[in-house]
């Protein structure tokens, strides 16, 4: 998504239409947004969301950092944040000829621990029709939706991103976001990431905000999405959000196979 910042920088001051995502659906609004190259981008009359160039630049950096290409998303298992969230560690596995030590992680449904080659990487919002919901899910950990995240994964990513947003240069931001357990970055309070509890092993879900408000963009979210739309980068954003840590999880074959395609949250097809 870094091409977005290049596009803004090389462009002129322009007034663009405002787009949002409301309860998971793309909607055009009557307001307009003014973009100033390398300056501030804001929603005009009524002046609501304001994002400056450095915020947009950080958001695109974080989207890139959390994503894998559609052809290599299975390699997400090597992502440092994935390894923390999904308890990836070397464990003893029993074989007919004894124990082997291998990288392993639990299925996020039944909790069985397996090496990655015996797990499937599931897209939480489905590849068939779940693009926009995946975009909102990713924008939610960036603090760009009306209600914040409530799942165990995204509630942990959000504070990391908020802290990483404060770093001045991009490499420090990425260091804060990706830092491993027990390795703090000087000058930052990097929140620890705990392992996510597999779904079948969790208690009752705590009371949460409404699904509609979690799948609606905040004023800042509208600004970001409108700029992405103006520069014709929505498809790219969708691809990245679909194949991001925010939207992927490990499942064993039987758990993945038994779930079907009913994973859209708001606008079921
Ligand atoms: Zn399973």
CA of 112 to the centre of ligand 1 (A): 6
- Alpha-carbon distance of 129 to 269, in angstroms, equals 8
Average pLDDT over residues 265-269: 66
Given a cut of 60, is residue 262 above it in pLDDT?
A: no
pTM of the model: 0.92
Structural domain contains residue 66: yes
Given a cut of 90, is residue 187 above it in pLDDT?
A: no
Question: DSSP letters of 215-252?
Answer: TSB-HHHHHHHHHHHHTT-HHHHHHHHHTBGGGEEEEE
Q: Percentage of residues in the chain with pLDDT exceeding 70?
A: 93
Average pLDDT over residues 137-153: 95
Average pLDDT over residues 190-212: 84
Please tell me the number of Cα atoms within 13 Å of 71 on its side-chain side: 0
Q: For residue 140, what pLDDT band results from cuts at 50, 70 and 90?
A: very high
Structural domain contains residue 38: no
**Which domain, by its residues, includes 148?**
52-200+213-222+232-257
**5 in helix, strand or coil?**
helix
Q: For residue 261, what pLDDT band results from cuts at 50, 70 and 90?
A: low
CA of 232 to the centre of ligand 1 (A): 39
Q: Which residues surround ligand 1, an ion (CB under 5 A)?
A: 107, 109-110, 252, 255
CA of 121 to the centre of ligand 1 (A): 12
Given a cut of 50, is residue 154 above it in pLDDT?
A: yes
Structural domain contains residue 262: no
Cα radius of gyration rounded to whole Å, the chain: 19
CA of 242 to the centre of ligand 1 (A): 21
Structural domain contains residue 16: no
CA of 198 to the centre of ligand 1 (A): 9
Classify the phi-psi angles of 193: left when phi > 0, otherwise alpha if psi is within -120 to 50, otherwise beta: beta
Number of helices and strands in the chain (H, E): 10, 9
CA of 103 to the centre of ligand 1 (A): 17
CA of 114 to the centre of ligand 1 (A): 10
- Tokens, residue 268: 């079921």
Average pLDDT, the chain: 90
CA of 152 to the centre of ligand 1 (A): 18
Structural domain contains residue 106: yes
Q: What's the confidence (pLDDT) of residue 165?
A: 92
CA of 125 to the centre of ligand 1 (A): 18
Average pLDDT over residues 185-194: 86
| Nearest CA among 180, 214, 185, 174 for reference residue 60 | 174
Given a cut of 70, is residue 122 above it in pLDDT?
A: yes
CA of 111 to the centre of ligand 1 (A): 6
The three-state (H, E, C) secondary structure of 116-165, written as one string: HHHEEEEECCCCCCCHHHHHHHHHHHCCCECCCCCCCCHHHHHHHHHHHH
- Alpha-carbon distance of 43 to 223, in angstroms, equals 7
- Tokens, residue 19: 């787009």
Given a cut of 70, is residue 182 above it in pLDDT?
A: no
- Alpha-carbon distance of 198 to 221, in angstroms, equals 30
Structural domain contains residue 96: yes
Of residues 202 and 20, the one with the higher pLDDT is 20
57-104 confidence digits (pLDDT tens): 999 999 999 999 999 999 999 999 999 999 999 999 999 999 999 999
Q: For residue 269, what pLDDT band results from cuts at 50, 70 and 90?
A: very low
Q: What's the confidence (pLDDT) of residue 231?
A: 95
How many distinct structural domains can be found in the chain? 1
- Alpha-carbon distance of 125 to 137, in angstroms, equals 9
Query: Peptide bond before 190: cis, by omega within 30 degrees of 0?
Result: no
Q: For residue 179, what pLDDT band results from cuts at 50, 70 and 90?
A: confident
Residue 48: is it exposed, middle or buried by C-beta count within 10 angstroms (0-12/13-18/19+)? middle
Structural domain contains residue 263: no
């Amino acid at each position: 998504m870094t091409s977005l910042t290049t596009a803004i920088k090389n462009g002129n001051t322009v007034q663009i239409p405002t787009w949002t995502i409301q309860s998971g659906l793309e909607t055009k609004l009557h307001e307009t947004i003014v973009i100033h190259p390398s300056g501030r981008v804001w929603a005009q009359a009524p002046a609501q969301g304001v994002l400056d160039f450095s915020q947009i630049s950080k958001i695109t950096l974080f989207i890139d950092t959390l994503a894998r290409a559609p052809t290599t998303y299975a390699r997400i298992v090597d992502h440092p944040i994935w390894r923390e969230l999904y308890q990836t560690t070397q464990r003893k596995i029993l074989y007919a000829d004894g124990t082997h030590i291998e990288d392993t992680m639990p299925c996020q449904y039944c909790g069985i621990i397996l090496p990655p080659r015996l797990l499937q990487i599931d897209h939480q919002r489905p590849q068939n029709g779940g693009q926009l919901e995946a975009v909102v899910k990713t924008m939610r950990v960036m603090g760009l939706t009306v209600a914040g995240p409530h799942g165990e994964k995204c509630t942990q990513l959000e504070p990391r991103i908020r802290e990483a947003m404060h770093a001045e240069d991009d490499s420090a931001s990425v260091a804060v976001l990706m830092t491993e357990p027990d390795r703090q970055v000087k000058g930052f309070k990097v929140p620890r990431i705990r392992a996510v509890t597999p779904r079948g092993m969790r208690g009752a879900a705590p009371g949460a905000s409404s699904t509609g408000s979690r799948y609606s963009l905040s004023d800042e979210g509208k600004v970001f999405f409108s700029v992405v739309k103006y520069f014709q980068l929505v498809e790219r954003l969708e691809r990245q959000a679909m194949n991001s840590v925010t939207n992927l999880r490990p499942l064993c074959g039987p758990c993945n196979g038994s779930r079907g395609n009913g994973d859209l949250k708001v606008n079921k097809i």
